[in-house]
Amino acid sequence: MFLLQKFISNILISPGIFIIILLMIFMMNLRKRSAVKGNFLLLVTITAIYLLSIEPVKDMVVQPLEKNYPPITRTQLEEADCYVVLGGGIYDNAPKSLSSVTGSPGKAALFRVVEGVRLYKNYPKKIIITGGIVYNGEKSEGRIYKELMVDLGVPGTDIIIEGRSKTTEENARLTKGIMEKNGYKKAALITSATHMKRSKYTFEKYGAEVIPAPTGYVSRYKGSYGMDSYFPNAGNFVDIRSAVWEYIGLIFYKIKS
């Protein structure tokens, strides 16, 4: 019953419903000779949507970015002089309880901020939060992240905001300056596992010595795939899109260098 419920819910929620609709159009067009070319493109589209929405394909795309960056160890944490938490977007005007400041971290940023707090509570060090005002926003990402960190128990005096950057490259360049100003030689770099390769490359390009402290892993590393892994799921689309963005970013960085 559980699998049936899950199957029906995945079919009725995108992209499952779109696959069904396209399949129905394909079946209706089978009798039309004039629709042969259109049917071929339709079938290719259906196949692509399905493959890009299932877990095994998502893992094939994502794992090359994540697999070389295991969680940071205690020994590595002891070597770091500070933490650097990279920005990952905000919901600028999202309402929030017990606060006069609206806005909350985006999904990727939430993983990063919470990981920063968690590591801080095990090994207290200064935290550099990166992220400025992006697009037409009103508040810097760093300001929103800091408020959440303080709410979770990190003293505001232990948080340094780098509030001007809009890109990973600006994160690295401006954070390097803050590290030099404060005498920090090595930082534990906290960002999403899929984002770590590009982030580490960029920080090292600007001469910052960093220890990867990845979080927010999205691929499966243990266990076999179940039946539900082959149900179309929009979340897999999102993870693949994020991974493709990273691959494109790495290609552009290589071209520029």
| Model confidence pLDDT, tens digit, residues 94-127 | 887 877 667 899 999 999 999 999 999 999 999 9
Residue 138 φ/ψ, nearest 5 degrees: -110, -20
CA distance to 43, 58, 90, 162, 215, per residue, from 233 (Å): 19, 10, 24, 36, 22
Confidence of residue 2 (pLDDT cuts 50, 70, 90): very low
Distance in angstroms (rounded) separating the CA atoms of residues 151 and 137: 23
As given in the structure block, the two tokens for residue 139 are 């508040």
Report the b/e string of 110-143 with b at 16+ CB within 10 A: bbbbbbbbebbeeeebbbbbbbbbeeebebbbbb
> Hey, is 74 helix, strand or coil?
helix
Q: What is the largest CA-CA distance in the chain?
A: 74
Partner residues linked to 253 by β-bridges = none
| Model confidence pLDDT, tens digit, residues 216-233 | 999 988 778 998 899 888
Distance in angstroms (rounded) separating the CA atoms of residues 92 and 203: 27
| Model confidence pLDDT, tens digit, residues 18-56 | 767 777 776 766 666 656 666 777 788 888 889 999 999
Q: Check if the beta carbon of residue 45 is closer than 8 Å to that of residue 147.
A: no
DSSP 8-state assignment for residue 215: E
Q: Check if the beta carbon of residue 89 is closer than 8 Å to that of residue 132.
A: no
- Residue 97: its pLDDT value, please? 82
Domain 71-215 CATH (choose: 2.60.410.10, 3.30.1330.60, 3.40.50.920, 3.40.50.620):
3.40.50.620
> Hey, is 185 helix, strand or coil?
coil
- Residue 44: its pLDDT value, please? 80
CA distance to 20, 64, 177, 231, 240, per residue, from 57 (Å): 20, 12, 40, 12, 9
Distance in angstroms (rounded) separating the CA atoms of residues 176 and 33: 64
- Angle, helices 55-66 vs 234-256, to 10°: value is 30
Dihedral angle over CA of 32, 37, 41, 44, nearest 10: 90
- Residue 153: its pLDDT value, please? 96
Asked whether residue 11 carries a pLDDT value surpassing 80, the answer given is no
pTM of the predicted protein model = 0.86
Q: Where are the domains of the chain?
A: 2-65+224-256, 71-215
Asked whether residue 137 carries a pLDDT value surpassing 50, the answer given is yes
> Hey, is 217 helix, strand or coil?
coil
